[in-house]
Amino acid sequence: MAAAAIRSKCSTVGERSSNPTNTHLNSTTTSFKKPLFGFRYNTDRIWGKLSLQGGGRINRVAVVERGKVKRWGLVRCTAEGIERGMLGGRGQESNFVMPERLKVVALMACVMCLCNADRVVMSVAVVPLAAKHGWNTSFLGIVQSSFLWGYILSSVIGGALVDKYGGKRVIAWGVFLWSLATFVTPWAANHSTMSLLAARAFFGLAEGVAMPSMNIILSRWFPCNERATAVGLSMGGFHLGNVVGLVLTPIVMSSIGLTGPFILFSSLGLLWLTMWTLRITNDPQESRSISNSELRLIQEGKSNATPLKKGEFPPLRLLLSKMPTWAIIFANMTNNWGYFVLLSWMPVYFKTVFNVNLKQAAWFSAVPWGTMAFSGYVAGAASDYLIKAGYSLTFVRKVMQSIGFIGPGLALLCLNYAKSPAVASVFITVALSLSSFSQAGFLLNMQDIAPKYAGFLHGISNSAGTLAAIISTIGTGYFVQWLGSFQAFLTVTAGLYFVTAIFWNLFATGERVF
């Protein structure tokens, strides 16, 4: 090997051998200034390249003295950098190198946190807005639901755009537009109620692209055995957005005024957009800062899916003709049904069942969201561990989704027998924490069965899930008013979890279908 090719430090980690056959070797002569093993001879070093999975190079070296091979060893070269895992490795001159894919998932977690925090701002600000403009309770429900009007429409369109143009560009436009809608919301409310509803619907329309974009970007930047952890980290940011919005909004409103939180969160969106545009590429192959070893690791561990051609549309009829697609759709609907029931009605549940004031009820309801962020990461790490251990994708997806449905179903049944708000909060925490295992189930399964149409499939299932969320949120109120208690509706929701878990295990698969 030429001297120019040996620029990095190499450390011998090998063993003795006397058989240099069947190795492709080049030789150079190196003269040592100091004795080697007590001798002062010119030493021929013979190098042969061996591959190292996950990056870097390991070279085999033979030390020849007086025409005889004295020792064989393995020499590790770090010129290209070695990335052994998501958290980094040793790069050139043994310096720590942060993998590019870790930067991607960090920015993705931040934008998912911002995505959910922007939703929560209105949930808090609607109280002083109602007092200022004289809105009644029924109109408050319309204002809160106006976000979903746009959201249910953009999921399918956004998913198709992500498949065609990639996640980077689509989510960048989404963040810009929803930050703009967040900024103008208080002024729209002062102008007219129709302006406010239009701003909120536009806000939901822009946010509908977030989930499909996240799914596609992470599938391109992470090998299969790391993707669940990446999704767990990103969704952890999403769940923490509830906490961030609930904590910061009252503080900023008391310091700056009603418009303060809207200005703050829209500014954070534009700041994130600047970093995202400058530092992240749509595909790791387009990145100028990624090392060759990390790029090989990603390429070798992911499914290859060519983007849609110009003028090509996702085959809706074909997608809906297969049962694994319906398994994902029903799983998304059930997941959103239970999620929004707990999100929207738990403060009222604590007030109605245990006569807890609304301020205390908000604290009891907020505790589970922090634990849900952590449990989502645990689910992802456990899923990746099982895949690395050799279990099939089908087995792993079914196990994760079964935990994500059977666990919350049992917790909701137990909630019917809670005798104190503290015990009820524990069961709700268990329900939400275990439901986050769905992130390593149906949410990842879209990329498994249809990598080329994953964004569009995500949009279809997300629209169905949003419809289920609207029905469950409205239906809970009518159900409780009709029967006079939450117990029956919680039992219905638990039964829905169990039925969908059975359907999932019968028809879901981790194999590629489309």
Q: Tell whether 434 and 352 lie within a shared domain.
A: yes
Q: Is the pTM of this model over 0.85?
A: no
* pLDDT at site 63: 47
Cα(201)–Cα(324) distance, integer angstroms: 32
> Which CATH number fits the domain that encloses residue 189?
1.20.1250.20
Q: Are strands 96-97 and 89-90 parallel, antiparallel or unpaired?
A: antiparallel
Q: Tell whether 103 and 143 lie within a shared domain.
A: yes
DSSP string computed for 225-278 = HHHHHHHHHHHHHHHHHHHHHHHHHHHHHHHT-TTHHHHHHHHHHHHHHHHHHH
Cα(106)–Cα(230) distance, integer angstroms: 9
* pLDDT at site 15: 40
Domain residues for 386?
A: 316-513
Instruction: Report residue 495's pLDDT band, with 50, 70 and 90 as the boundaries.
Output: very high
Cα(77)–Cα(304) distance, integer angstroms: 30
Tokens of 370: 């922090």
Whether 67 is in a domain gets the answer no
End-to-end C-alpha distance for the chain, whole angstroms: 47
Element (H, E) at 51: strand 43-51
Instruction: Report residue 321's pLDDT band, with 50, 70 and 90 as the boundaries.
Output: very high
Q: Tell whether 228 and 272 lie within a shared domain.
A: yes
Starting at the edge strand found earlier in the chain, the sheet holding 43-51 runs: 10-12, 68-77, 57-65, 43-51, 26-30
Q: Tell whether 241 and 167 lie within a shared domain.
A: yes
Percent of the chain with pLDDT over 90: 25
Cα(139)–Cα(130) distance, integer angstroms: 9
Of 242, 236, 282, 209, give the one whose Cα is nearest residue 109.
236
Q: Tell whether 365 and 446 lie within a shared domain.
A: yes
* pLDDT at site 78: 37
Q: Tell whether 243 and 335 lie within a shared domain.
A: no
CB distance 302 to 448 below 8 Å? no
> Which residue type does 240 have?
L
Last residue in a domain, options 303, 325, 351:
303
Whether 309 is in a domain gets the answer no
Name the β-bridge partners of 76.
11, 58
Q: Tell whether 105 and 250 lie within a shared domain.
A: yes
Name the β-bridge partners of 26.
47
DSSP string computed for 284-297 = GGG-SSS-HHHHHH
The model's pLDDT over 219-254, given as tens digits with 9 standing for 90+, comes to 888 888 888 888 888 988 988 887 788 778 888 888
Q: Tell whether 286 and 392 lie within a shared domain.
A: no
Q: Tell whether 287 and 343 lie within a shared domain.
A: no
Q: Tell whether 221 and 295 lie within a shared domain.
A: yes
Q: Tell whether 452 and 358 lie within a shared domain.
A: yes
* pLDDT at site 397: 95
- The residue among 317 and 65 whose pLDDT is bigger is 317
Whether 20 is in a domain gets the answer no
* pLDDT at site 299: 81
Q: How far is CA 473 from CA 124, 336, 448, in A?
A: 18, 10, 31
Whether 2 is in a domain gets the answer no
DSSP string computed for 70-136 = EEEEEEEE-SS----STT-EE-GGG-EE--HHHHHHHHHHHHHHHHHHHHHHHHHHHHHHHHHHT--
Last residue in a domain, options 268, 303, 338:
303
Q: How many domains does the chain have?
A: 2
The model's pLDDT over 134-187, given as tens digits with 9 standing for 90+, comes to 877 667 767 777 887 888 888 788 888 887 888 889 999 999 999 999 999 999
**b/e per residue, 261-285, with b = 16+ CB within 10 A?**
bbebbbebbeebbeebeeebbbebe
Whether 402 is in a domain gets the answer yes
Across the chain, what does the average pLDDT equal?
77
> Which residue type does 420 have?
S
> Which residue type does 313 have?
F
Tokens of 497: 């979890």
Q: Looking at residues 491-500, what average pLDDT do you find?
A: 94
Last residue in a domain, options 303, 335, 352:
303
The model's pLDDT over 412-440, given as tens digits with 9 standing for 90+, comes to 999 988 888 888 888 988 998 999 999 88
Whether 55 is in a domain gets the answer no
3-state secondary structure of 210: helix
Whether 19 is in a domain gets the answer no
CB distance 368 to 425 below 8 Å? yes
Among 127-136, 262-271, 379-388, 452-461, which stretch is predicted with the lowest mean pLDDT?
Answer: 127-136
Q: Tell whether 487 and 372 lie within a shared domain.
A: yes
Determine how many CB atoms are found less than 10 A away from the CB of residue 492: 16
Helices (H), 355-441: 358-388, 393-415, 421-435
**b/e per residue, 416-439, with b = 16+ CB within 10 A?**
eebeebeebbbbbbbbbbbbbbbb
Residue 53 pLDDT exceeds 50: no
Measured in degrees and rounded to the nearest 5, phi and psi for residue 71 equal -160, 140
Full 3-state SS string of 313-379: CCCHHHHHCCHHHHHHHHHHHHHHHHHHHHHHHHHHHHHHHHCCCHHHHHHHHHHHHHHHHHHHHHH
> Which residue type does 159 have?
G
Whether 266 is in a domain gets the answer yes
